């Protein structure tokens, strides 16, 4: 089992960001550096709002057309992560966040993880990318009930009554 790089990256990220502040601060000055940090946070808010609403419209359109929106869900998650990264102070997180806003980068991520992702909606699942064919049912027998099967009356043989159960 190989160790994950993510915890190490999270631990080193503050040091990398501080080094970035020092390098940029020496190059352009302290006030300009602070201005860039504030501007990137505002840009993150604007991009998240703008791209997020467009993504919600695409998700709704795919839902209306009966398509399982796996790709759009991954894009949505990446946009949320990108907005969060832009809100964090620092230049490295800003660069990563801006990359996640680029549709080509999101498509690349979808190609990498789409084949291993399973989207489940309403008891049906669809796996892989691109989604092809009709959704398949996951597990269990299918029980077909009529309207009269749902009636609640005083029938002692009914499984919904408080009377004795069938087979007991």
Domain ranges (residues) in the chain: 15-131
User: What predicted TM-score, i.e. pTM, was given to this entire model?
Assistant: 0.60
Q: What is the pLDDT along the chain (168 residues), one digit of tens a residue?
A: 466 888 888 899 999 999 999 999 999 999 999 999 999 989 888 888 887 777 778 778 877 887 767 777 778 888 888 888 988 889 999 999 989 888 898 888 888 877 777 666 555 444 544 444 444 455 667 777 777 766 656 666 666 666 555 555
Contact 115, 71 (CB under 8 A): no
Contact 69, 96 (CB under 8 A): no
Q: Which residues contact 20 (CB under 8 A, 6 or more apart)?
A: 90, 91, 92
């Amino acid at each position: 089992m190989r160790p994950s790089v993510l915890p190490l990256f999270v631990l080193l990220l503050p040091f990398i960001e501080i080094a970035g502040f020092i390098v940029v601060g020496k190059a352009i000055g302290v006030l300009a550096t602070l201005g860039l940090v504030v501007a990137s946070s505002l840009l993150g808010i604007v991009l998240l709002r703008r791209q997020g609403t467009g993504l919600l419209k695409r998700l709704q359109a795919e839902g209306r057309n009966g398509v399982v929106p796996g790709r759009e869900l991954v894009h949505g998650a990446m946009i949320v992560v990108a907005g969060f990264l832009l809100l964090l102070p620092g230049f490295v997180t800003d660069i990563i966040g801006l990359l996640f806003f680029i549709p080509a980068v999101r498509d690349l991520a979808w190609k990498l993880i789409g084949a291993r992702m399973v989207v489940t909606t309403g008891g049906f699942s669809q796996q892989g990318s691109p989604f092809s064919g009709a959704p398949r049912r996951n597990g269990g027998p299918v029980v077909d009930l009529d309207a009269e099967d749902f009636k609640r009356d005083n029938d002692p043989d009914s499984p919904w009554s408080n009377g004795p159960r069938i087979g007991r």
